[in-house]
């Protein structure tokens, strides 16, 4: 029963931390509590790396970077009033070559169905 539950969640448009934990626990035969601790710690390390180094490169997966967006003028869609938007930091992701090729292959297969 759990197999069907995890598979259906993987196919959903949104993958949650809970789904990741369930999937990894199932595939590694480890208890969900331990996998949850590992996943939480991984996300903490990624966040800390981005804050300190502002760049995290995972070979064959991609690069996360922190970039500063310049201030700009936005517009309220209802009133059309211009609103100043302050500069801010954002996290960007650029897929690695292997990830990009895999994604293109999977999307081509999905379009053939």
pLDDT tens for each residue of 78-109: 999 999 999 999 999 999 999 999 999 999 98
- Non-local (6+) Cβ contacts of 63 within 8 A are 55, 56, 57, 93, 94, 96
Q: What is the mean pLDDT of the chain?
A: 89
What is the number of domains present in the chain? Answer: 2
Q: Which domain holds residue 64?
A: 54-113
**Domain endpoint, select from 14, 32, 51:** 51
Same-domain check for residues 61 and 87: yes
Ordered alpha helix ranges (H), the chain: 2-10, 17-28, 32-53, 97-112
Same-domain check for residues 39 and 88: no
Q: What is the CATH number of the domain that holds 65?
A: 4.10.520.10
Mean pLDDT, rounded, for 15-27: 95
Mean pLDDT, rounded, for 51-76: 93
Same-domain check for residues 44 and 83: no
pLDDT tier at 3 (50, 70, 90 boundaries)? very low
Same-domain check for residues 24 and 75: no
Specify the pLDDT at position 71.
96
Same-domain check for residues 44 and 69: no
């Amino acid at each position: 029963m759990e197999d069907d539950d995890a598979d259906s969640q993987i196919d959903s448009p949104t993958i949650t931390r809970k789904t990741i934990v369930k999937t990894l626990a199932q595939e590694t035969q480890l208890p969900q509590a331990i996998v949850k601790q590992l996943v939480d710690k991984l996300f903490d390390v990624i966040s800390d790396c981005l804050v300190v180094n502002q760049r995290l490169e995972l070979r064959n997966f991609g690069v996360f970077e922190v970039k500063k967006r310049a201030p700009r003028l936005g517009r309220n869609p209802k009133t059309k009033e211009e609103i100043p938007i302050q500069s801010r930091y954002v996290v960007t992701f650029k897929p690695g070559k292997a990830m990009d090729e895999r994604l293109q292959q999977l999307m081509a297969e999905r379009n053939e169905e």
